[in-house]
Structure 1
Amino acid sequence: MERIFAANLDEIQNDTLLSKTVNGTKVLLSRVNGQLCAVENRCPHLGLPLAKGKVCDGAVVCPFHGSSFDLLNGENIDWTNAFIGMPMPTWTHKLIALGKSPQALKTFKVECEGEQVFLHL
C-alpha cells in the first residue's frame, strides 16, 4: 500500500467534505468528532460523485439518490431513498435502487504527520 500526501491538516474540517484527487483516486476527506477519515468520492449505487453531498451525524448523504454512508467505516446506513435530493415514498426505494443491493463505501487509512495528511492507497 502506497502512502501519499493528500492535504494539509487545516484544510479538513468537522462535518464538511474536502474533495481531492490523490494519485488518480478521487477521495473525500473529513473529520467526524475530530477524527480524520477518507472515503472514495463515488457512490456505490451508480458511481456518481458524493462531493456535493451533505454530512449529517458522521455520515455523507448522496445528493442524487439519498443513500448515506458512515464516514469512519464506509458502512451503508440507508440505501436509495430520494431522487435528485427529493425524498421519495418508501414504495419507490427499490425502483430507485435499480436492482442493486446496499454496498459500503471504500475507505482509506489516514495518517497524520505534523500538519500533513497522508492516505494509504
Structure 2
Amino acid sequence: MERIFAANLDEIEEGAFLNKTLGGAKVLLTKVNGQICAVENRCPHLGLPLGKGKICDGAVTCPFHGSSFNLLTGDNIDWTNAFIGVPMPGWTHKLIALGKAPKALNTFKVECEGEQVFVNV
C-alpha cells in the first residue's frame, strides 16, 4: 500500500464526492457525519462509476443499477434494484444482477495530518 496525499480538509464536503485518481486508483472522498471516507469509484456489480451516485444517510446508491453501499464500511445494503436509475419490480432484481452475488464496495484507509488528508491505496 502507498500513502498518497489526496486533498486538504476544506475540499472534502459532507454529502458530495471529491473525485481523485491516486496511484492509479479512482477514488471518491466524502464526509459521513464528519468522518472522512474514501471508496473506489467503481460499483462492484459491473464496474461502472459511482461518482454521480446519490449520497443519503451515509450510503451511496449506484446511478445505474440501484445497488447501495455504506460509505464508511463498504458493506452492501441493497443489490441491483433499478435500471439506469429507474426502480424496477422485485422479480427483475435477479435479472439485473446478471448472476452476480452482492459484493462490498472497496474502501481505503484515510489518515489526516493537520489540514491534509492522505489515502492508502
- Report the TM-score when normalising by structure 2: 0.98
Q: CA deviation at 1:7?
A: 1.0
| 1:51 partnered with 2:51 | yes
| 1:24 partnered with 2:24 | yes
Query: Where in structure 1 are there 5+ consecutive unaligned residues?
Result: none
* Distance in 1 separating the partners of 2:22 and 2:116: 14
AA in 1 matched with 2:42: R
Q: CA deviation at 1:23?
A: 1.3
Q: CA deviation at 1:60?
A: 0.5
Query: Where in structure 2 are there 5+ consecutive unaligned residues?
Result: none
- Report the TM-score when normalising by structure 1: 0.98
Alignment of 1:18-97 (within 5 A): 18-97=18-97
- Output one character per residue of 1:77-101: Cα deviation in whole Å (capped at 9) or x when no partner: 0000000000000000000000000
Identity of paired residues, percent? 79
* Distance in 1 separating the partners of 2:5 and 2:61: 26
Q: CA deviation at 1:16?
A: 1.2
* Distance in 2 separating the partners of 1:90 and 1:7: 40
* Distance in 2 separating the partners of 1:64 and 1:113: 36
AA in 2 matched with 1:28: L
Aligned to 1:11: 11
Residue 108 of structure 1 aligns to a residue whose secondary structure is strand
Q: CA deviation at 1:27?
A: 0.5
RMSD value, Cα: 0.6
AA in 2 matched with 1:119: V
Aligned to 1:101: 101
AA in 1 matched with 2:113: E
* Distance in 1 separating the partners of 2:87 and 2:98: 17
